[in-house]
Amino acid sequence: MKKTAEARAFHRTKLGTIFHADSLDVMAAMAPASVDLIVTSPPFALTRKKEYGNEQEDAYLQWFKSFAKEFHRILKDSGSFVIDLGGAWKPGAPVRSLYHFKLLIMLCEEFGFHLAQEFYWWNPSKLPTPAEWVNIRRIRVKDSINTVWWLSKTEWPRASNRRVLQPYSPSMHALLANGYKAKLRPSGHDISSKFSINNGAAIPPNLLAIPNTESNSNYMRYCQDNGIKAHPARFPADLPEYFIRMLTDPGDVVLDPFGGSCITGEVAERLKRKWVCAEMSLEYLAGALGRFKHPANERAVAKRRWLL
């Protein structure tokens, strides 16, 4: 990287760097086709202004174009771009914005990305919002899904679902124990005898059920102990971990251009990937240091979501 970007380095680890800088400046100093995975949760196009700097819906697509151009330039042909986006409601009406769908179409039709697959992150712990339509008038249900677009530079990005296999359900264990008779189902699907082979784990769906309930992590304790306000819109570690596992190998380069509290960097460090995070808020970066003050080993003893 150029010295101008190097001078903005806020913190370094064995594998990664946090930059206190606009990610456009950081990416401008990166070589073409040098990144294996971009995974991020940018500010959403919310109709109510948030403290973390979201863009208004009407200006969102135009604002995002400069980033899209750089993402495509620095991504390897085998690489992927994963973006987590929350939806938005039209001001004063119980109808939804289409901005995240428009962004997807723009990225594919104008910037040459391919939609490898759409994912949906279901946050079971999300509060019932918007209050006006959900709690007061009771004419909508709570909004608890984020869209997660998995995009790629070519039609054949490097990926393996074997790295995100999940434990079998109790019903699958019962089926394996009791046996299954191969037959044609009413739906027309021909279920062969191979269906009853025990492969040790299940291929996950594209619905990611991940609660966002972090309360006692190294990061939260560090913020509390040092009087630092935690980032108000963190995504849970399991979300970037899923895609880092599935789409990269140890030693690959992972970028989060909207780093926030740098959870992507923490996960990448633990999984032995090289990484770069960029964030413009010094307050958020002050808290992010807590992710690297001690080894991120607390999740090693937690219940694992993946079998690998």
pLDDT per residue over 126-158, tens digit each? Answer: 888 889 999 999 999 999 999 999 999 999 999
Distance between CA atoms of residues 42 and 37, nearest Å: 15
Measured in whole angstroms, how far is the alpha carbon of residue 91 from the centre of its chain? 27
Catalytic residue among 23, 41, 80, 261: 41
Catalytic-residue membership of 124: no
Which residues neighbour 307 within 8 Å (Cβ) at sequence distance 6 or greater?
165, 166, 167, 200, 201
* Per-residue confidence (pLDDT) for residue 231, from 0 to 100: 87
* Per-residue confidence (pLDDT) for residue 5, from 0 to 100: 46
* Per-residue confidence (pLDDT) for residue 234, from 0 to 100: 85
* Per-residue confidence (pLDDT) for residue 218, from 0 to 100: 83
Catalytic-residue membership of 42: yes
Question: Which tokens in the block code for residue 7?
Answer: 């001078």
* Per-residue confidence (pLDDT) for residue 28, from 0 to 100: 96
Do 248 and 36 meet the contact criterion of CB atoms below 8 Å apart?
yes
Catalytic-residue membership of 193: no
Give the residues across from 38 on adjacent strands.
81, 255
* Per-residue confidence (pLDDT) for residue 303, from 0 to 100: 46
Catalytic residue among 23, 36, 80, 84: 84
| SS3 call for 2 | coil
* Per-residue confidence (pLDDT) for residue 87, from 0 to 100: 87
* Per-residue confidence (pLDDT) for residue 276, from 0 to 100: 98
Compute φ and ψ for 24, nearest 5 degrees: -65, -40
* Per-residue confidence (pLDDT) for residue 95, from 0 to 100: 93
Could you say which residues of the chain have pLDDT below 50?
1-5, 7, 52-54, 298-303
Which residues neighbour 260 within 8 Å (Cβ) at sequence distance 6 or greater?
41, 52, 231, 233, 234, 279, 281, 284, 288
Catalytic residue among 23, 42, 257, 261: 42
Which residues neighbour 277 within 8 Å (Cβ) at sequence distance 6 or greater?
16, 17, 18, 19, 255, 256, 259, 262, 264, 265, 288
Do 22 and 280 meet the contact criterion of CB atoms below 8 Å apart?
yes
